[in-house]
Amino acid sequence: MKSYKNLYPQICAFDRLYFAWRKARRNKRYTPAAARFERTLDSQLLALHQELTQETYQPSGYVHFIVHEPKRRKISAAPFRDRVVHHALVGVLEPIYERKFIVDSYANRHGKGTHKALDRCTHYMRRFKYVLQCDVRQFFPSIDHEILKTTLARTIVCRPTLHLCEQIIDSGVGVLADEYKVHYFPGDDLFAAGRPRGLPIGNQTSQFWANVYLNELDQFVKHALRCAGYVRYVDDFLLFADDKVILHRWRDAIIVFLQTLRLTLHEQRAQVSPVEQGIPFLGFTVYPEYRYLKRTKGVAYRRHLQTMWRHYQAGRITREQGRASVMAWLGHVRHGDTFALRQRIFREATA
């Protein structure tokens, strides 16, 4: 396994921090934190450069809030200056790990994404008869810090870079403690409940490290199980085959393998079914020849659109703001057979 040294000077470089700032402010330029940082940009970036170079940088605390769409999640937002560091770090590490990742991992990667994952799902549904659908229980709250650090250390042998990774990982200790239900694995003692775990949902580093963590599963599925049809998006993944017995065998093997990562499946949901029955995946119900938007997604957007229409009529949002939101949603749902649904939603929302 190839390892990498001398990465830290690339992370600390002023140019790297400048481009990291540009990424961090994307879609957030006019938020108070981003605006304050930009007002004294040169001094802010110079301070970060010096702290990183002298290895005196310390991550700050998080701001937490709850979102309920599509399901309840606790989001932890890092201060803006820390987000700049996260982008600088990921910008250096990402190309290294891209060489390690499999083709059919689609979350938070350049040139991938939801729609390509859906297209790949359709491709495999036309090729195979059966599917095993799996998702990891409490994924982000369950990510074990010791395992993640060990995984990173197998590739990163640059001491200050690894130390920076560990600082950011450690800053998330306890952030999702109230979201985690303790699970004991074979060989655990009572102290296992206190193992540091959890990555803050919302960090650029968390999204990247989630792929690093589950790359172990990807490699197991592709090389140990030799599964030809496999798609993963974050902690949701599909295995395809023409033999139900093989898929049941793979399910058992995955449950055992995930114990090495201190993860568990939603076993009740992990069932084998014919592809013709359709697969609920990434907000759509996917069939071999077509796909529909899930009903809950359509209902939620209809409510959102009605609220936005009232705000527009009251002058709280501009026509351009409303149009941008609508076009973004249309760009997403056009990847399904949704023409009649779109017409009905807009007719009802503006009635």
pLDDT per residue, tens digit, the chain (351 aa), is 788 999 999 999 999 999 999 999 987 877 899 999 999 999 999 999 999 999 999 999 998 888 876 678 888 889 999 999 999 999 999 999 999 999 999 999 999 999 999 999 999 999 999 999 999 999 999 999 999 999 999 999 999 999 999 999 999 898 888 888 889 999 889 888 899 999 999 899 999 999 999 999 999 999 999 999 999 999 999 999 999 999 999 999 999 999 999 999 999 999 999 999 999 999 899 999 989 887 777 777 778 778 888 888 888 888 888 788 778 877 777 777 777 777 776 676 555
**According to DSSP H, which parts of 267-316 are helical?**
295-313
Residues in CB range of 42: below 8 A, 6 or more apart: none
pLDDT at site 315: 84
Q: Distance between CA atoms of 257 and 221, rounded to whole angstroms?
A: 10
Q: Distance between CA atoms of 319 and 292, rounded to whole angstroms?
A: 29
pLDDT at site 350: 59
Greatest Cα pair distance in the chain: 62
pLDDT at site 190: 87
Q: Distance between CA atoms of 149 and 99, rounded to whole angstroms?
A: 19
pLDDT at site 235: 96
Residue closest to 121 by CA, chosen among 284, 302, 296, 257:
284
CB burial string 207-238: b at 16+ within 10 A, e below: bbbbbbbbbbbbebbeeebebebbbbbbbbbb
Q: Distance between CA atoms of 198 and 168, rounded to whole angstroms?
A: 12
Q: What is the pTM of this model?
A: 0.89
Residue closest to 294 by CA, chosen among 302, 286, 306:
286
DSSP labels, 151-180: HHHTTB--HHHHHHHHHHHHTTTTTTGGG-
pLDDT at site 10: 97
Under a CB-based contact definition with an 8 Å cutoff, are residues 132 and 221 in contact? no
